[in-house]
């Protein structure tokens, strides 16, 4: 809200003509004036177009950074790398030679699509469809950088396939990104279901001999981090857009004095730019 408009509203509240009917009327008018100032202060606090939850919190990076870090440590020879390879080989042994299941190639996109479209089916979403589309696009761009750069730079051979681009798992990153987007948009209950699907896809990447365990762990961290970057970027975009791209209409409530009995009988409502 414009400061000039706020000053004008306060001035009108103080200087409006009215008769004083004893000490009780004075207390009543003071109470009304305080209420008006309270209303105007609340309007001022939310009228700058900044989302109430716009805040970068470093604690939100602890989980994804830890997952990426554990996966990265396993790239070096040591007991973590040996343990990762041992777990993966055990999963492959359970599968057998020619019993691969390729549905993870398609299921990886289900949480991402659901994060965008569930709100169109009547499920209450945190953001509008336009903002959800922006979040998904930004998250994908972040994911593309965080997965492809290490794949080209790190010489990590896949368990059963040619190629040295195993780290991190792109499928796992995609599905965990979608799971985190669903949790952000629709709450924990939907998030539990999405994370269950994401965990299944991560398991299938090892089951099919495509990735080591540490590739999957790092991919999960990349996906979660990418989703949170998308969320932070959307809030920043909302802040910039609302400040520079359009003007906000702010409501000002001002008490009106009755010329007959000198008391307050209502409020006027106006728009300020």
**CATH at 218:** 1.20.144
pLDDT at 192 > cutoff 70: yes
| 19 and 63 housed in the same domain | no
- Residue 53, domain member (yes or no): no
Is 204 found in the same domain as 93?
yes
Q: What is the Cα–Cα distance from 17 to 107, expressed in whole angstroms?
A: 70
Judge whether residue 17 has pLDDT over 70: no
pLDDT above 60 for 216: yes
Q: How many structural domains does the chain have?
A: 2
For residue 137, name the pLDDT band (cuts at 50, 70, 90).
Answer: very high
Let me know whether 266 and 239 are in one domain. no
End-to-end C-alpha distance for the chain, whole angstroms: 7
pLDDT digits (tens, 9 = 90+) for 45-89: 333 344 445 466 888 899 999 999 999 999 999 999 999 999 999
The secondary element (H helix, E strand) that includes residue 69 is helix 62-73
Give me 168's structure tokens. 């991190």
Whole-angstrom distance, CA of residue 118 vs CA of residue 124: 8
The whole-number pLDDT of residue 57 equals 80
Same domain, 162 and 254: no
- If asked whether residues 177 and 254 sit together in one domain, one would say no
Question: Is 109 found in the same domain as 69?
Answer: yes
Shared domain for 161 and 178, answered yes or no, is yes
What is the rounded CA–CA span in Å between residue 142 and residue 146?
6
Answer whether residue 166 shows pLDDT above 90: yes
Q: Which domain holds residue 108?
A: 58-244
Over 60: is that where the pLDDT of 28 sits?
no
**pTM of this prediction?**
0.71
The pLDDT of residue 200 is above 80: yes
The reply to whether 235 and 260 lie within a common domain is no
DSSP 51: -
Half-sphere exposure of 257 (CA within 13 A, CB side): 16
The share of the chain scoring above pLDDT 90, in percent, equals 59
Is residue 93 very low, low, confident or very high in pLDDT (cuts 50, 70, 90)?
very high
Whether 240 and 253 share a structural domain: no
Tokens of 124: 């209450």
207 and 114 part of one domain: yes
**Farthest CA pair distance, the chain:** 95
Of 29 and 94, which is predicted with more confidence?
94
Q: Which two tokens stand for residue 70?
A: 């554990």
């Amino acid at each position: 809200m414009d400061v000039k408009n706020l000053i004008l509203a306060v001035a009108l509240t103080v200087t409006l003509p009215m008769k004083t009917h004893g000490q009780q009327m004075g207390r009543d008018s003071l109470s009304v004036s305080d209420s008006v100032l309270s209303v105007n202060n609340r309007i001022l606090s939310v009228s700058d177009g900044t989302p109430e939850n716009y805040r970068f919190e470093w604690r939100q990076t602890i989980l994804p950074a830890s997952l990426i870090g554990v996966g990265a440590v396993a790239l070096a020879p040591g007991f973590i790398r040996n343990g990762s390879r041992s777990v993966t080989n055990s999963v492959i042994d359970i599968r057998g030679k020619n019993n691969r299941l390729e549905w993870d190639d398609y299921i990886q996109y289900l949480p991402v699509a659901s994060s965008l479209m569930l709100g169109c089916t009547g499920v209450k979403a945190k953001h509008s469809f336009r903002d959800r589309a922006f979040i998904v696009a930004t998250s994908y761009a972040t994911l593309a950088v965080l997965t492809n750069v290490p794949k080209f730079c790190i010489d990590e051979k896949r368990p059963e396939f040619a190629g040295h681009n195993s780290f991190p798992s792109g499928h796992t990153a995609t599905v965990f990104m979608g799971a985190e987007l669903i949790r952000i948009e629709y709450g924990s209950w939907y998030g539990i279901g999405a994370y269950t699907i994401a965990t299944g896809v991560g398991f299938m990447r090892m089951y099919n001999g495509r990735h080591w365990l540490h590739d999957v762990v790092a991919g999960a961290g990349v996906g979660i981090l990418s989703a949170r970057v998308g969320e932070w970027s959307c809030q920043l975009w909302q802040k910039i857009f609302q400040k520079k791209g359009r003007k906000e209409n702010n409501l000002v409530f001002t008490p009106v004095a009755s010329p007959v009995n000198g008391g307050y009988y209502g409020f006027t409502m106006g728009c300020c730019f």
